[in-house]
Structure 1
Amino acid sequence: MLHATGPLLTVDVGERTATETEIDEVLEATVGGRATATTLAHERIPFDADPFGPENRIYLSLGPLQQSQMSFTGRLNLTGLSPLTDGLVSSNAGGYLSRNVVETGYSVLELAGESDELLAVHVSDSGVEFEAVPDLEGATVPETSEYMADRHDRGPEHCLAIGPAGENRVRFASVMTFDSRAFGRGGLGAVLGAKNVKCVTFDGSVEAPLEIPNPPERDVHREAATSDDRMRSQGTTGGTEFINDNFALPTRYFREYEFEGAADIGGNAVEAKKYKKGACSACAYACKLPTRDEERGVETEGPEFETVYSFGSLQGVDDIVDVMQANELCDSLGMDTISAGVTVAAYLDSEEAFGDAELARDLTEKIAYREDIGDTLAEGVARCHDDLGVEDYTVKGLEFAAHDGRVLHGQGLSYALANRGADHLYASMLALEYSGELDPQGTLGKAETLVDRENHKAFLDTGIVCVFGRDYVSEERLEALFDADYDELMAVGARTVALERHFNNQRGFDRSDDTLPYEIPDLEDAIDEYYDARGWTDDGTVPESALESITPAAD
């Protein structure tokens, strides 16, 4: 089976040490990306770790396809213990960093410990350097990238960075690369902040040792380049009006299901502000959205659909430039636009202030610096909803993505069961329900499909393949790329999901956490079907016998 290559690099920022460990056996069994990082995290992060403590670790990991030039592979995985959900979380981001990480020769970077001063960590194929960066305290993400470019000739394509939100331990702070690409969900930026790590840069000259099967590498790249998919011109916002008209677009902090201003913040509105093409490393699909409004002096990348929802319909805001400004503010300050937007919407609900985009931006900035009410909102909806007097629209502490489980019941089931909470990409049942392949109504009989989708998604995050490559990287092409039967690949995904759940079980997670803040049909019975399909207990825990086939991590 094709797998990532290279040692694990462990960097202890407290001790200022860097250690290499050969993990060939782990990589052979887990391929790379999310599966490798989850295996290492399960073995090396104490089950009782404090997310903000030095014992927590963050794993930046490559899949084997980052050694290729195939479209949909310019991505990286980030895994750690979330300060928002209190469980393991994995996130991935695009941009241009992945090939620079490949050229250092490492397959995984592990960050451990806690520095006593603000640090930049510089990783190359010749070693690791630590730099105290007191001048970057409070710096935005672009300011940090500019500093690294000026001092070290390592600009945003070489850099992982956090903004003020990460330094101030906002529980949904993101880790940013290329200034606008976010490892968004779960607050791993706050973990870097707790470690006092402002940024990590990568540079090297190691040639990729893998030979990627071709075809399908060349075929995927050609098809991506010639596609006429609307995604290439409007990104994920292209479905905004369709979703609003035919399903639901959560509006005014989930009070309503339809937004009258959807057309003003949807795909056509975004495309009208797009001024050039944008892509990730080596990707011919070029679905990114560099946008600007000269009248108000706004330039950003996006917004994507989730931001159109969180800072648009959910807040009652119908001006695309307002949403663009919020998007740019979150990227610059280093915050997940979904959690930030939902949390701000909760406050607007408490004050009956829907539609006040200026207030929303002010709150967003206050959150990043934990000023005034921002200090309360920086904790996220699950921790502040009582203070606000609003409903807790989260699962496992993670704020909801846009796709409404009250209407898409399979997606609602996925939200309830996903190890990282209310995340739309954990299984993406929404894709089947929007397309009509799966009836959106009802939950019974959907558990097997949900298991298959979770396993498939876990493997794509392992490979690593962008979610937008789903129509181009088929099951047959995955088999050819990884030189393995599809069932073998899905077994890697299944083990990853089980390890995440087992880790969380040790932290006290069980069936009581697999729930929703609203009712959908037969949820408890559907959860039973899911546990049965996974071979887990009726209480939602992974029995030790189910872990026997999982390869242990390196010593």
Structure 2
Amino acid sequence: MRHAQGPLLTIDVADRTASTEPIDDRLDEFVGGRGLNTSLAYDRIPFDADPLGPENRLYFSTGPMQYSTTSYTGRMAATGLSPLTNGLLSSNAGGFLSRNFTGAGYAAVEIVGESDELLAVHVREIGDDGEPTVEFEPVPDLAEAEVSAVSDRFAESRDLSPEHVACVGPAGENGVRFASIMTSDTRAFGRGGLGAVLGAKGVKALTFDGDADAAIDIDWPDDAGEVHREAATSDSIMKRQGTTSVTELANEVDALPSYYFSETSFEGAEGISGDRVEEKKYKKGTCSSCAFACKLPTRDEETGVETEGPEFETVMAFGSNAGVDDVVDVMRANELCDELGMDTISCGDVVSMFLESEAEFGNATLVRSLVEQIAYREGVGDKLAEGIHRAHEEFGADDWTVKGMAFSGHDGRTLNGQGLGFATSNRGADHMYGEFYPYEYPLVDKDQALDPTGLEGKPPKLVEKENRNAVLDSAVICKFSRGTVTDDRLASLLDADYDDLLALGARVVELERGFNNARGFDRADDTVPYADAIDGFEDGLSEYYAIRGWNDDGTVSGYADGDRETLGDGLGERGGVAGDD
């Protein structure tokens, strides 16, 4: 099986030390990316760690595909204990950082401890003596600096472009529970608040540089070239509109959350549609080595606002869910979140919650003010920075979260399989964990489409999708490769049997689940606010557990002991692949 290469680099920001250790056996088993990170986190983060304390650890890694030059591979993974969900969480970001990371020669980087002053940590290529080259630079002048200012600083002082930098904005330093780690200025390790973890460690920025990957010689199959050619020649609407191409479809089928989830369609959808975003797009945008080029550099000439995006989820959170029907207003909110370092979905949703409490839907000026207040924890922003789950009661609002994470789009009240997917996701209410919605709109061929109503026959497919996505996140391959990186091609690219890959994915999912079980998660956390409205929800959930070989209370056997050896015994060996008995 092809896997990432190189040692693990451990950086202790408290002691200002760096060391390496070989992890070849672990790479053989977990490939890279999310799988590698999860296995390391499972073994090394205490089950009772405070997500914002020094015991938490943060992992960055790439996978074998970052040694190729094929499309859909300009991504990398980050993993840690989430301050938003209180569980183990992995996120990945696109852009160009991944190639610079692999150039330094490490399979993974582990950040441990907590600095007593604000630092930038500069990682360079492994020295000729095999020792790591890591520099710790105090950066007190960058306190609460916005993301682009951090990039400007290292471009000037170290001749490093934003593609070499991963950093936090003011939100990460101020412990906003949905703060992102930003790279390439506008790409985010989003959703679960890993930016707050990095900020709590006193790290403003990490930079990566080196040419070690040039010495890595991998014989790639013809499939790699075919994937790249198909990405280049595809006429997908996503090349023009990104994920906003689904906005009006979601609205038509009643799957577009609106007015803080009180409705499932929005009368102003046309004003925030893919067509409106395409009108503002002024050039092509892509990630490293990718010919699909689905990114959205946008500009509004009248106001001067310039950003990348918004993508569909941001259009939902800051558009329909906030009652805002002007794409330029959504662009402004998107730009603010990128500069301040926050996840646009969680931020937009919590802002929408506040708008509901104040009867201020549609007030785009207030939206922008709230975004800034959240990042700096000023005024009401201090409470909103805690996220919906921790703040909703104070504002008299319903708790629209799963495991503490705010909902993305593709409403599960209409797309019932996606609703179950939100519930089972170890990450929380994130649409990309199980990514079931394409089958229910549908966005796939007719022979693959599923009736969106009910859950009959869907749990096996959801298990398969979660497992496959765990493999993609370990490889690391963009999920927009759907239809191009087929099952056969995925197996060929990773030089593995496809069923073995699904078993790998099942093990990753189960390690996440076991870790979270040890922190108190169980079936009670695997639900959605509208579970009663989904026909057969509880039966579907039990079927899902049975396929995975878990207990009917949503736990992995052995979790209650809180002992790693006991908890780890047999993980991934109970099945967990759709179709197993």
* Pairwise TM-score range, normalised by the shorter structure: over 0.9
Residue 155 in structure 1 maps to residue 176 in structure 2: no
What one-letter code is carried by the residue in structure 1 that aligns with 2:491?
A: E
2:506 maps to 494
Say if 1:138 and 1:163, in contact at 8 Å, map to a contact too.
yes
For residues 141-540 of structure 1, what are the structure 2 equivalents within 5 Å?
141-206=147-212, 207-435=214-442, 437-518=449-530, 519=532, 520-540=534-554
Unaligned runs of 5+ in 2: 128-132, 559-565, 573-581
Counterpart pick for 1:548 among 569, 572, 575: 569
Q: Deviations over 1:82-110 (max 9, x none)?
A: 00000000000100111101110001000
Q: Give the 3-state SS of the residue equivalent to 1:111 in structure 2.
A: strand
Distance 2:225 2:215 in 1: 17
Deviations 1:295-325 (A, max 9, x none): 1110000000000000000000000100000
Secondary structure of the residue that 1:332 maps to in structure 2?
helix
Distance 2:255 2:76 in 1: 31
- What code does the residue aligned with 1:464 have? V
Partner of 2:578: none
Contact 1:103 1:208 in 2 (8 A): no
Residue 433 of structure 2 aligns to a residue whose secondary structure is coil
Residue-by-residue CA offset, 1:439-463 (whole Å, 9 max, x unaligned): 1101233111110010001100000
Deviations for 1:160-204, whole angstroms, at most 9, x for unmatched residues?
010000000000000000000000110000001100100000001
**8 Å contact from structure 1 (residues 77, 91) kept in 2:** yes
3-state SS of paired residue (1:434): coil
1:42, 1:503 within 8 Å by CA — same for their partners in 2?
Answer: yes
Deviates more, 1:442-451 or 1:204-213: 204-213
Match runs of 1:6-25 below 5 Å: 6-25=6-25
Secondary structure of 1:92's counterpart equals: strand
Give SS of 1:216's match: helix
Cα shift at 1:550: 5.2
Residues 170 and 376 in structure 2, CA contact (< 8 A), matched pair in contact too: yes
* Matched position secondary structure for 2:431: coil
Mapped partners of 1:212, 1:84: distance in 2 = 41
In structure 2, what residue type is equivalent to 1:400?
Answer: F
Asked if structure 2 preserves the Cα contact closer than 8 Å seen for 1:65 and 1:212, the reply is no
Amino acid at match of 1:355: G
Distance 2:473 2:175 in 1: 26
User: How many Å apart are 1:525 and its aligned residue?
Assistant: 1.1
- Look up the SS of the partner of 1:501 in the other structure: helix
Alignment of 1:96-107 (within 5 A): 96-107=96-107
Aligned-residue CA RMSD in angstroms?
1.2
Number of the residue aligned with 1:53: 53
Look up the equivalent residue of 2:569 and give its one-letter code.
Answer: E
Does the 8 Å CA contact 1:240/1:267 hold for their aligned counterparts?
Answer: yes
Letter in 2 for 1:393: W
How many Å separate the matches in 1 of 2:135 and 2:102?
Answer: 18
- 1:114 and 1:195 in contact (8 A); partners too: yes
The percent identity for this pair of structures is 60
Runs of 4+ in 1 over 3 A off after TM superposition: 544-551
Q: Aligned-pair distance for 1:53?
A: 0.6
Contact 1:6–1:105 at 8 Å: present in 2 too?
A: yes
Once residues 570 and 475 of structure 2 are traced to their aligned partners in structure 1, the CA distance between those partners, rounded to angstroms, is 20
Change in 2 beyond 3 A, CA 1:505/1:208: farther
Q: Decide whether aligned partners of structure 1 residues 530 and 199 sit closer, same or farther in structure 2, where only a CA change above 3 A counts.
A: same
Which one-letter code corresponds to 2:310 in the other structure?
A: P
Q: Residue deviations 1:454-496, cap 9 Å, x none?
A: 0001100000100111111111101111111100111110000
* Residues 398 and 189 of structure 1: CA distance in aligned 2, closer, same or farther (over 3 Å): same
Q: What is the TM-score of this pair, normalised by structure 2?
A: 0.94
Cα drift, residue 548 of structure 1 = 3.5
Q: In structure 2, how many angstroms separate the alpha carbons of the residues matched to 1:549 and 1:266?
A: 48
Task: Tell me how far 1:546 sits from its aligned partner.
Answer: 8.3
The separation in 2 between residues aligned to 1:271 and 1:292, in whole angstroms, is: 10
- Cα distance, 1:248 vs. partner? 1.9
2:257, 2:263 within 8 Å by CA — same for their partners in 1? yes
Spell out, residue by residue over 1:391-433, the C-alpha distance to the aligned partner (whole angstroms, 9 max, x if none). Answer: 0000000000011011111000011111011000001110111
One-letter amino acid matched to 1:204: G
Pairwise CA distance, 1:208: 4.8
What secondary structure is seen at the aligned counterpart in 1 of 2:56?
Answer: coil
* 1:133 match: 139
Change (3 A) 1:135 1:360: same
Secondary structure, counterpart of 2:36 in structure 1: helix
Question: 2:123 maps to what in 1?
Answer: 123
The one-letter code of the counterpart of 2:195 is G
Deviations 1:17-52 (A, max 9, x none): 101010000000111110000000000000000000
Which consecutive unaligned segments of at least 5 residues does structure 1 have? none
Answer whether contact 2:510 2:571 (CA < 8 A) is retained.
Answer: no
* Deviation, structure 1 residue 549: 4.9
Question: Partners in 2 of 1:187 and 1:273 — Cα distance?
Answer: 30
Contact 2:514 2:567 survives alignment (8 Å): no
3-state secondary structure, aligned to 1:129: strand
DSSP-derived class of the 2:434 partner = coil
CA deviation profile, 1:348-399 (whole Å, cap 9, x unmatched): 0000000000000000000000000000000000000000001000000000
1:292 maps to a residue whose letter is: R
Q: Which gives a bigger RCO, structure 1 or 2 (Cα 8 Å, sep 6+)?
A: 1
Instruction: Pick closer, same or farther for the CA change 1:208–1:380 going to 2, 3 Å.
Output: farther
Question: Are the equivalent residues in 2 in contact too, given 1:404–1:411 (CA < 8 A)?
Answer: yes
Q: Which residue of 2 aligns with 1:28?
A: 28
Counterpart of 1:446, as a letter, is K
Tell me, in whole angstroms, the C-alpha distance in 2 between the residues paired with 1:467 and 1:418: 16
1:73 touches 1:466 (CA, 8 Å); kept in 2? Answer: yes
